[in-house]
C-alpha cells in the first residue's frame, strides 16, 4: 500500500518496522479518481494528504483565461501535499492525468507524525525538499535549455524518480503523458513537442510507444540534456 513511498524515503533513511507501521496505520483508505478529475483545488484547505499509489497526476496553475501550466508530475510514491497541514490554503491545484488510486492520510495524522515521530517527520520533510528541488530544476530547464534538451531532461528525471519508487523495469517506465500535457509543462506548442520527439527518436535516444518510455542510450541522453541527478538527492539510485 505504501511500498512506493517507503522505497522513495529509503534514499534518505531506512525506516524501522515501527515507523513503517506508523505510516500504514496513519492512512485511512484508498480512493480512485478518474482521468481529468481535480484532486485538490487552489484555494482549498484539504483535510487529507494524498499518496499516489497508481497512475500519474500533476500540480498546475489555472489562469483566468482558461490556460493552465503544469508545474510538476506526480507518480506512485509522491505525496500531495504534506505542507497542507501548516498552510491555510492550497496555492495550486492537483489533477489526475490518468486514472489514479490514492491513499488518504488525514491531516491530523500527519500532524501527529510531525510532532511525535521525529525520524519520520525528517523523512517526510526530505521528500518535500526534493519536490522543491525538482521545481527549481524545472525553472532552469524552461529558462535555459533548448527544446530538445528540455524534453530529454524530463525523460531522464522521470526514469530516476520511477526507479526511486521501485517501479522501473531497467530503462523502461510507464509514461502515459500526451503531447498536450508535455506542452503544458514545458511552454512549447504541441507541434514543437512532436518535432522534438521525432528528433530524439531519430537520434536513437528514446522509444516512446504504447504509453511506455524506453531510454535507448542513457549516457548519451544524459549528456544531450545536461542531466545531473544531484537535485533529486538519490545518489544511490543505479544509473
Compute φ and ψ for 86, nearest 5 degrees. -115, -45
| Whole-number Å distance between alpha carbons of 124 and 130 | 10
Hunting for cell 489562469 — which residue is that?
63
Q: Give me the residues paired with residue 207 across strands.
A: 214
The predicted pLDDT at position 28 comes to 86
Q: What is the CB neighbour count within 10 angstroms for residue 219?
A: 9
Question: What is the spatial distance between Cα 44 and Cα 60, in angstroms, rounded to a whole number?
Answer: 14
- Helix/strand/coil for 37: coil
pLDDT tens digits for range 204-217: 999 999 999 999 99
Three-state SS at 94: strand
Peptide bond between residue 81 and the one before it cis (omega within 30 degrees of 0) = yes
At residue 239, the pLDDT reads 62
Distance (Å, whole) CA 79 – CA 72: 12
Length of the chain: 239
Q: Rounded distance, CA 218 to CA 224, Å?
A: 10
**CA nearest 61: which of 185, 165, 234?**
185
What is the CA angle 95-99-102, rounded to 5?
70
Residues of the chain with pLDDT under 70: 236-239
CA distance 190 to 183: 6
Full-prediction pTM beyond 0.75? yes
**Helices marked H in the chain:** 3-9, 17-26, 107-116, 118-144, 147-164, 179-186, 190-202, 218-225
The span from the CA of 6 to the CA of 23, in Å, is: 9
The predicted-structure confidence for 132-144, as pLDDT tens digits, reads as follows 999 999 999 999 9
pLDDT of residue 85: 74
Sheet hosting strand 38-40, strand order edge to edge: 38-40, 93-96, 57-62, 68-74
pLDDT at 236: 66
Amino acid at each position: 500500500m505504501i511500498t512506493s513511498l517507503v522505497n522513495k524515503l529509503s534514499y534518505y533513511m531506512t525506516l524501522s518496522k515501527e515507523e513503517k507501521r506508523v505510516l500504514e496505520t496513519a492512512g485511512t483508505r484508498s480512493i480512485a479518481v478518474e482521468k481529468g478529475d481535480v484532486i485538490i483545488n487552489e484555494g482549498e484547505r484539504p483535510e487529507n494528504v494524498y499518496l499516489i499509489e497508481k497512475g500519474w497526476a500533476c500540480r498546475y496553475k489555472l489562469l483566468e483565461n482558461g490556460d493552465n501550466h503544469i508545474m510538476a508530475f506526480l507518480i506512485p510514491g509522491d505525496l500531495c501535499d504534506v505542507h497542507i497541514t501548516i498552510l491555510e490554503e492550497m496555492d495550486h491545484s492537483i489533477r489526475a492525468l490518468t486514472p489514479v488510486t490514492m491513499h488518504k492520510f488525514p491531516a491530523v495524522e500527519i500532524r501527529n507524525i510531525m510532532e511525535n515521530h521525529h525520524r519520520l517527520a525528517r523523512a517526510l520533510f526530505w521528500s518535500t525538499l526534493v519536490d522543491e528541488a525538482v521545481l527549481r530544476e524545472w525553472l532552469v530547464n524552461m529558462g535555459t535549455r533548448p527544446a530538445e534538451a528540455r524534453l530529454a531532461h524530463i525523460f531522464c528525471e522521470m526514469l530516476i524518480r520511477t526507479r526511486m519508487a521501485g517501479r522501473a523495469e531497467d530503462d523502461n517506465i510507464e509514461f502515459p503523458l500526451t503531447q498536450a500535457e508535455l506542452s503544458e509543462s514545458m511552454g512549447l506548442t504541441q507541434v514543437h513537442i512532436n518535432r522534438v520527439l521525432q528528433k530524439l527518436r531519430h537520434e536513437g535516444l528514446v522509444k516512446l510507444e504504447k504509453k511506455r518510455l524506453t531510454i535507448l542510450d542513457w549516457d548519451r541522453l544524459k549528456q544531450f540534456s545536461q542531466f545531473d541527478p544531484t537535485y533529486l538527492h538519490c545518489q544511490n539510485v543505479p544509473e
